[in-house]
Chains A and B, each alone.
Chain A
Amino acid sequence: MTQLIQTTRDDHLIAWFTALAITIHIAESALPSPLPGVKPGLANVITLIVLCRYGWRMAVWVALLRVLIGSVLLGTFLSPTFFLSLSGALASVAILGLGWAVSRAVPGWAPGPLGFGLLAALAHMTGQFWAAYTLFIPHPALLHLFPVLMTLAAVLGIVSGVLTRSVLARLNSNPSIPTIST
């Protein structure tokens, strides 16, 4: 007895973009990190691209599936790394949702890729830091690190926004890639 699951075009797009994000996520995990919790966040560029092209709902799928499947492939599923990553991703999609709602409600003040990149990076760092502080190392000395980490997050967020913008410009000039979400 076989049951066929009907997939939509959105499902396929989510799968493709998630696969891309996971690839980057894994490649990035091989990079040495100067400080625990600091990563270039290149995989997040994919989330931002999906957000700008297909909207928030699909970006949430890509961001969360990437964290889940990426951790299974790296063997960090349910480890502290996973929970830090997950809290970061949840905070990030939440704030992106807020930004998305604002850009729907007041299009004149809609953030561009750079603004979304900044929001996502800062939220990711905050969520991750909050998890690290409350779940793993509840020591007040850790708080001294927070401003430094947030500064790095802001810089990396801007970088990922710039990258997102240039990738988007190329994608938009290619008519064979579907743009509108259902």
Chain B
Amino acid sequence: MNRWLTRGDWLLLGAVALLLPGLYAVYWHGSGQGLEARVWVDGKPWARIDLFREQHLDVPGVLGVSHLEIGNGQVRFTDSPCQNRQCIHTGWLNEGGDVAACLPNRVSVQIMADDPRFDSINF
């Protein structure tokens, strides 16, 4: 009782100082990058694409052809035959669960991951 902290206390404080950042690392790692994306056309699965192979993809939709740009773990719409260009304005998708869709053309793309950020997204 003479000392404020015993050797055991220091050991425990040290262990906790290591444990807490570890907990943040484990539970706050985010949903993680996905490795592949899936493309749907008119409600049906159309393709699975590797996000780390740079490529441009032409997806034949209901109205016309949507262009996808893929690479570096990301995917985005670059062109689509719709009016509002919502899909293009969505920008790059890079997190598990991210979705972009061109509803008029019935084309959508979603990044697949073990631990997606969202279960589903409704517009």
Q: Categorize the interface residue count of chain B.
A: 20 to 34
CA distance A144 to B9 in the complex (A): 28
Partner-binding segment picked from A66-74, A80-88, A112-120: A112-120
Most buried by B among A115, A122, A140: A115
| B16 and A154 form a contact (CB under 8 A) | yes
| B5 and A112 form a contact (CB under 8 A) | yes
Provide the residues of chain A in CB contact with B5, threshold 8 Å: 112, 114-115
Provide the residues of chain A in CB contact with B123, threshold 8 Å: none
Provide the residues of chain A in CB contact with B3, threshold 8 Å: 112
Interface size, chain A (Cβ < 8 Å): 25
> Which residues of B approach A to under 8 Å, CB–CB?
1, 3-9, 11-13, 16, 19-20, 23-24, 26-28, 115
| B27 and A118 form a contact (CB under 8 A) | no
State whether A140 and B12 are in contact (beta carbons under 8 Å apart), knowing that A147-B20, A169-B1 are contacts in the complex.
no
A151 within 8 A of B: yes
- Specify which of A108, A144, A147, A150 is in contact with B7 (CB 8 Å cutoff): A108
A111 within 8 A of B: yes
